[in-house]
Structure 1
Amino acid sequence: MSTSQPTSAATQRSQSRTAPPFWERGRTAFRNLGIGAKLNIGFGILMLVLLLIVALIFSVGGQATALIDVTEDVRVPSALASAQALSNLLRMQAAIRGYLVLGDLQNIDDYNKARERFENNLAQLQELSAHWTNPEDVERLQALVAIFETWAPIPQQLFQLHDNPLENRPALRIEATQVRPLAAELLRHLEQLSASQETHPPSADNQALLSLMLDFRNSLQAMTTNLRAYAITGDLAFKFGYADNLVANSNTLGELERRLDRLQPEQVAIVTEIRRLRRELLSLSETVFAAAEGERNYEDLYLFTTQAAPQAEEMLTLLTRIADEQQRLIQRDLNVGKQRLWMMQVQTILGGLLSLVLGLVMINIFQRSISGPVQRLHAAAQRISVGDLDFRAPVESNDEIGRLAAAFNSMTHRLQETIDNLERLYRISQGVMSARDLSDLVAEVVEGGNIPVINRAVLNLFEFSDQGQVTGMTVIANWYSGRGTPPSPPGTRYLRADLELIDLLRSREPLFFNDLLQDPRTDPATHAVAERLHIRAMAVLPLWRQEQQIGVLLLEGDEPYEFSEQEIRPYASLLVQLSVAIENRRLLEQTQQRAVELDRAKKQAEAANQAKSDFLARMSHELRTPLNAILGYAHLLCQDESLTPFQRNAARSIRDSGDHLLTLISDILDLSRIEAQRLELYPTNFDLTSFLEGIVEIFRIRIQEKPEVTLVYSPSPGLPAQVHGDAKRLRQVLINLIENAIKFTERGRVIFRVEALTQQPAGRAAGEAEDTAPGTSPPVARLRFQVEDTGIGMSPQEMERIFRPFEQGDHPTLRAQGVGLGLAISQHLVHLMGGSLEVESQPGQGSTFTVTLELPTVGTTPEAAPGATRTGTREVSAPRVHREDGATQSAWRRLVTREQVAVMLDLAWKGELPTLSRYAQELAQADPRCRPLAERVQQMADAFDEEGLLALIESLNGG
């Protein structure tokens, strides 16, 4: 026993020395916790402290908020309503006083407004009084309401009394209702007494009595007048006047009474009645004086001073006490709120300090258990980020940071592998981008891989039918390492009907054949090809473009091989880029081939177009030369009177046919210029009136051939005198429209209207009139040329195609009268001049063609239009050739420009002699100095002297 006890005690002492204290055990247990548990414990303690602080702040803040709410919702509105009610009550008193003094109706309006606001204030105070805590203010408010109910009718009584003087002024009421009728009765008796006295014979005594009567009446009237004035104004002067007149009246009455014996009995009776009425009048006068001098002389003032003012003063006192009490309560609540807010600030500061201390403790703990390992992990990440992928992060614990460090090391290892793969892919991509052809492209892709068994590769593109089905595949490129069997050469074609493997090759994912000869998916045809080419291992990489597979890249080896996903990944990552590169190569080759073909076609088209233009120009000249001779002689034959009617009709038929053929040649040339975009305008100044009359004159003879058709020319009175434009082309358009209208009208009329719609300034056009002032712009005339007929009309289908070349209407008898070029050329000309050509038509009712143009006007008006069409017959002499001397040619050369000479030379070469003549006349119209030249051109054109015209115009061009 004795031995065992010391041993047990020693053991306990040894355990007490080796056992760590409880805080060390707690620290170890905390360090072994996960990061989530550590954060939960630390932030849980912090949240408990914060919740305690927030609860204390909320309690104090709630009390302060309650006081603020009471102050805001009850105290302040009550004080404000009391002050407003006090102000409105004062305004009501002021308005009442103002009306009683001045009688201005605005005071009544001010009173009503102030009363309405005062009643609203009382209603607001009554509503707020339910929340008042002091009963004294409630009692004051109740007393205030009761006084106001008594006081409220008084102002209306005051206003009514003030508006009714008789009710408001007792003295005035007595004077008006009693004194005035009694005075009228006295005056009536005095009139009777005077009238009776006037009937007596004239004598000194009678005249004296009559004078006394009149004095009595006058003094009585003066008395009543002063009495009325005093009752109205209260002025003592009127009272003194009344007393003076009373003395005079009493003296006069005494004198009259002493002479009663001289009066007639009826007059004595009248005097007696007058004496009685006078006594009553004097008694009433005393009553008036008493009323006017009493305190109730003005009833409204008496009522105001005795009732309205005292009650108002009492209400003012009550309102003042209510307002003062509410102000005192506001101040008290504000002081209490300040104290509680101060307490809340103190609690907030203490809670903040406690949270700060707790936060510092947690920072220290987390610094050692979390931040330190994280910083060391961050240092490891920095070393890895600068390229040290061989460094590994230290694993210090088994918590989340330790597991993160282990995962970080694993990620670094995989990153090293990924970078190696990316470098290899980059090298492959660079090779793909720099490949010269598809074979180089395949070589770059395959050589960048790392599968040693692959010794060749073949790029196959699918062939598709019209329905989009794969019919076969063709080898377009290959790669060969130089060892083993060579691959299939480019151009090798495999049909789907023969090689069933093609259906298997159509896949989204890569396919692997570890041994093609032993694979069950291999069909006999494929087996034969594999044996012939010694293909054992094969990887199939599909090539897709958007949603369509365009082919496959086959990686082949002579030995069986088991492919892995990691090995094939570098190739698979380049499939999209490879597909795009293949497609771009094919598109580039197709584009280059197409460019060569287009360039060849363009050159052929240009050569053909030039050949056509040369042919038309030469044929035009070759055709016009004999045609102009035919027309000339036909014209001379038509003028020969010795011909028989049959011969004259034949000559006319020759002339008409020649004109038609000449028109057809001109239209074809114009259409050729339009198609070649070589048709140009040559604007000049021309007289619009003469121009239009010349066009109408052309059709005067033609219209005679149709007696049932009338041509009506309707010009607007506001047309400008001269305009600037291409008269030749405009004439061509209008002649074509009018000619068509006459041709397609068998009966009725053809109306040619010309209107000036508007005139507006425009920019200076090329070839503008010389008389336009520098720096100014000529006005532009918006002209509308309209040709309306009552002919056969057109259907909507016809109107859609009449402006196409070589298109005509559907009328069977009129289709042979042209080739369908006129309207097409006219529309192009109108558009070239910046205008519009529109048509409206109804079958069987006729058609209306409208040309709208904007032409600059010219300020000067010409004397005449040299280019107007001449009428009547004209004798044509035999052709003569005129030769001008060098001085004349030099003078003419200075008058015309190179462009104008080019136009005339073009017309002369084409044989358009009438057009050339008109153009020369237009030049003379623009510049009178050109008139001799125009006349010479006219003479030579009439004589059909083409050679002379060519020589003359070429001399103008400098030889």
Structure 2
Amino acid sequence: MTGQTRLLRQFKLFALAQSKLILHFFDHLSIGRKLNVGFGVLVGLTFLVVGRNYWGVLFATDYINRTQKIRVPTALASNQAQKELLQMSAHIRGYLITGKSEFRNSYYLSKRAFDQELALMVALLETKSQSENNAKLNQLKTLYQQWNSLPDELFSLSDQYLENQPALKLFRNEGELALLTIQSEIQSVVDLQAQRSPSVNNIQMLKALAAFQNSFSLLGASLRAYLLTRHADFRFEYTGYLLDNDQQWQTLLATSDNLTPAQQKSLETVKISREKFLALAPSLLEIVEGDRYREDLYIFSTQAEPLATEMLVLLNDIVASQQQRLVDELATGRKSLITAQWQTLLGSFLALAIALAMTVLLRKKIADPIVRLTQATTRVIDGNFEVKAAIESTDEIGTLAKTFNRMTGYLQEFQQTLEGANSDLQKQKSQLESKNIQIGQALEALKLTQAQLIQTEKMSGLGQMVAGIAHEINNPVNFIHGNLACMEEYTVDLIHLLQQYQLFYPQPPAEIEQTFEKLISILCWRICHAHLAPWKWAHRAFETLFCHCATLLD
């Protein structure tokens, strides 16, 4: 415990020394560099956290992509290949048993699908990381090449009836010849016997020959049916007919002394052929009851099915391998994501802690000195020029504090200078106030004089205006008064002229026309001198006037 306590104390001292070094380092940095260091640390941690998170997500995404692009498609393709391989085997077996063409067509469809799935598996697994599966895939391709030629061979063999069934082929090649020989020779014996004279012995011989011929025909038919169908009933029938035929043969041999030499010769041939046939029957039964009853089924069961089974095992191994890798990669990806999440969370807490520490440090080194400097500035604003700012660092704030102290010194000196100048200004103010009183009195006198001058000027202007108005009124009145007598005379002459014009209208004499012209010229002259309108206008106007007057007179 003492050693651990000592180590803990040493660690605390080391941490304290390092913190002092950091604070001292910060004290000698400018504000810009302090902010750069703080934000640089935060940005670095942020990038570290984001990078680790991105790397974890990228790692997990790579596993997921590999799962989506390789594992799952490979497992699905292998599983589908298993399905198609089983269907191919089933279709081959169906065609071999039934001979229906739809099974053969379905086989080729399944084969095409299997080839596609196999090609897809080859494309998905051709990477170095899939060496184990590649070996299995190569083995699968080798087995498939061996198996691929068997179906067509089986189909061809199934279509060749005799080649496909060895027992029937042997029966056709050897057994049927013996049957035909026996039937032919027995028939010749029967024909010869029928030609002989009827007697009890001859009739019994004929019956014995007929019974033997009938039983042997049934014997051959049951054997042929059993070879074709392998049905147990035909096997039992064959055994029964064989026993019956043996009895008929023994009966026939017992009475053979009554036969003619030709008949005995034919019967000897029947004996030889029957012995051959009966000697052949066990071989036929052995073949038909053995594994090679049908060559196509035998080849299918001994060659095609084992190859298919091996291919299914390989496909199943590939599926299991891909599923295991899928599970492992998903587990690894999930673990990577969880690790990245924890690292991101821890990095976020670390970044938050460092951010808080940087905030406290920056506040202590930047904000608090600024606050104290602001308080000092407020005291200066309030008028206390003796305040001094504490110089805590060598950065911009320390420089500002030095400048502030110099400024307060200058302000203090300036305040003293202002106080001295203020006393002088107070004296000058009192002198200026007395002069302002005198100037005010003179200004009031000037204002009174100005008002009197303005009133006098107004009365003078009013007199001039009244004189002008009177002159403007008198001129028209005098003009009218001076022309009233002329107007009266002209009016009388005009009325008289109109009366004379009315008397002689529509052919007035030349004197009246001349009088009109004279009157118009006088009026126009008057108008021109009165500045009312030009001569031409007046002439046209009076002509129009006299025309209207003449019209009224009419």
Question: Which bracket does the TM-score occupy, shorter chain normalised?
Answer: 0.5 to 0.7
The partner residue of 2:270 within 271, 274, 289 is 274
Q: Which of 169, 175, 179 is the matching residue for 2:171?
A: 175
**Residue type matched to 2:162 in 1?**
L
1:118 aligns with 2:119: no
Structure 1 distance, partners of 2:368, 2:211, is 131
Q: 2:327 aligns with which of 331, 347, 351?
A: 331
- 1:76 is aligned to 72
Cα distance in 1 between the residues matched to 2:25 and 2:290? 110
Percentage of identical aligned residues: 32
TM-aligned CA deviation for residue 267 of structure 1 = 2.6
Q: After superposition, give the CA deviation of every residue in 1:151-189 in whole Å (9 maximum; x if it has no partner).
A: 222333334444444333322222333322331232222
- 1: CA distance between counterparts of 2:61 and 2:368? 42
Query: Equivalent residue for 1:66?
Result: 62
Q: Matches of 2:368 and 2:87 in 1, distance apart?
A: 76
Superimposed CA distance per residue, residues 931-952 of structure 1 (whole angstroms, 9 cap, x where no aligned partner): xxxxxxxxxxxxxxxxxxxxxx
Asked which structure has the greater CA Rg, the reply is 2
Q: 1:270 to 1:368 in 2, by over 3 A?
A: farther
What is the alpha-carbon distance in structure 2 between the residues aligned to residue 235 and residue 64 of structure 1? Answer: 65
Alpha carbons of 1:367 and 1:299: their partners in 2 closer, same or farther (altered >3 Å)?
farther
The structure carrying a bigger helix percent of its residues is 2
- Equivalent runs, 1:337-376 vs 2, <5 Å: 337-353=333-349, 358=355, 361=359
Aligned-partner Cα distance in 2 for 1:131–1:368: 66
Partner Cα separation in structure 2 for residue 367 and residue 304 of structure 1: 95
Asked if 1:137 corresponds to 2:129, the answer is: no
**Relative to structure 1, is the Cα distance of residues 316 and 69 closer, same or farther in structure 2, using a 3 angstrom cutoff?**
same
> For residues 328 and 159 of structure 2, what CA distance do their matches in structure 1 show?
51
> Which residue is 1:655 aligned to?
none
The one of 246, 249, 253 aligned to 2:245: 249
**Residues 313 and 288 of structure 1: is their aligned pair in 2 closer, same or farther, counting only changes over 3 Å?**
same
Go from structure 1 to structure 2 and tell me whether the alpha carbon gap of 1:52 and 1:264 turns closer, same or farther (over 3 Å shift).
Answer: closer
Change (3 A) 1:368 1:197: farther
Corresponding residue of 1:312 = 308
Which residue in 2 is equivalent to 1:154? 150
TM-score (norm 1): 0.32
Q: Superposed, which structure 2 residues align to 1:812-827 within 5 Å?
A: none
CA contact (8 A) 2:164 2:295 kept: yes
Higher relative contact order (CA 8 A, sep 6+): 2
Q: String of CA shifts for 1:111-149, please: whole Å, max 9, x gaps.
A: 333332322222222223322525333222222221222
For residues 23 and 136 of structure 1, the distance between their equivalents in structure 2, rounded to whole angstroms, comes to 61
Q: 2:298 aligns with which of 299, 302, 315?
A: 302
1:471-482 superposed matches below 5 A: none
Contact 1:74–1:132 under 8 Å retained in 2: no
Residue in 2 that maps onto 1:290: 286
Find the aligned partners of 1:208 and 1:263 in 2 and give their Cα distance: 12
State the 1:367 CA deviation. Answer: 13
Q: Structure 2 stretches of 5 or more lacking a match?
A: 1-23, 375-554
Is 1:220–2:213 an aligned residue pair? no
**CA shift in 2, pair 1:94/1:248, >3 Å:** closer
Taking a change above 3 Å as real, the CA distance of residues 261 and 71 of structure 1, as seen in their structure-2 partners, is closer
Q: SS of the residue aligned with 1:95? A: helix
Could you tell me how far 1:292 is from its partner in structure 2? 1.9
Note the 1:757-796 alignment, pairs <5 A.
Answer: none
Cα distance, 1:49 vs. partner?
Answer: 4.6
Deviations along 1:54-88, whole A, 9 cap, x unmatched?
Answer: 33333344333333333333333333322222333
Give distance in 2, aligned partners of 1:246 and 1:23: 121
Call closer, same or farther: CA 1:309–1:199 in 2, change over 3 Å: same
- Paired residue type of 2:150: I
Q: CA deviation at 1:198?
A: 2.5
Counterpart Cα distance in 2 of 1:133 and 1:95:
36
SS at match of 2:125: helix
What are the within-5 Å matches in structure 2 for residues 559-638 of structure 1?
Answer: none
The corresponding residue for 1:55 is 51
Query: Aligned AA for 1:210?
Result: L
| Cα separation, partners in 2 of 1:348 and 1:173, compared to 1, 3 Å | same
Shift of 1:333: 2.0
Q: CA deviation at 1:339?
A: 2.7
Task: Return the match for 1:238 from 234, 237, 241.
Answer: 234
Q: Map residues 385-534 of structure 1 onto 2, 5 A cutoff.
A: none
- Matched positions, count: 343
- CA distance in 1: counterparts of 2:268 and 2:28, whole angstroms: 143
Instruction: Determine the C-alpha separation between the residues in 2 that align with 1:310 and 1:22.
Output: 82
Q: Is the 8 A contact 1:74 1:131 kept in 2?
A: no
* RMSD of aligned Cα (Å): 3.7
> Is the Cα–Cα contact under 8 Å of residues 92 and 111 in structure 1 kept in the other structure?
yes
**C-alpha separation in 1, matches of 2:330 and 2:85:** 29
d(CA) in 1 for partners of 2:207 and 2:25?
Answer: 146
Q: What is the distance in 1 between the residues matched to 2:100 and 2:45? A: 74
Separation of aligned partners in 1, 2:88 and 2:25: 86
Flag the 1:215–1:26 CA change in 2: closer, same or farther, 3 A: closer
- TM-score scaled by length of structure 2: 0.53
Distance 1:198 1:304 in 2: 54
Q: For residues 85 and 103 of structure 1, do their structure 2 counterparts lie closer, same or farther at Cα, with a shift above 3 Å needed?
A: same
Q: Distance in 2 between matches of 1:68 and 1:324?
A: 18
Q: Is the 8 A contact 1:194 1:214 kept in 2?
A: yes
CA contact (8 A) 2:185 2:266 kept: yes
Contact between 2:150 and 2:304, CA under 8 Å: does it hold in 1? yes
Q: CA deviation at 1:212?
A: 2.5
Query: In 2, distance between residues paired with 1:223 and 1:350?
Result: 95
Unmatched runs of 5 consecutive residues or more in structure 1: 1-20, 31-36, 374-959
Provide the C-alpha distance between the structure 2 equivalents of 1:56 and 1:83, rounded to a whole number of angstroms: 38
1:366: how far off?
Answer: 9.7
The residue type equivalent to 1:107 in the other structure is F
Equivalent-residue separation in structure 2 for 1:343 and 1:211 (angstroms):
103
CA distance in 2, matches of 1:93, 1:152: 11
Residue 23 of structure 1, CA deviation: 6.2
- Give the counterpart letter for 1:290 in structure 2: E
Identify, as 1 or 2, the structure richer in strand: 1
Distance 1:22 1:49, change over 3 A: closer
Residue 87 (str. 1) matches residue 83 (str. 2): yes
Match of 1:187 in 2: 183
SS at match of 1:130: coil
TM superposition shift of 1:94 = 3.4
In the aligned structure 1, how far is the partner of 2:292 from the partner of 2:265?
Answer: 40
* Distance in structure 1 (CA, Å) of the matches to 2:368 and 2:161: 101
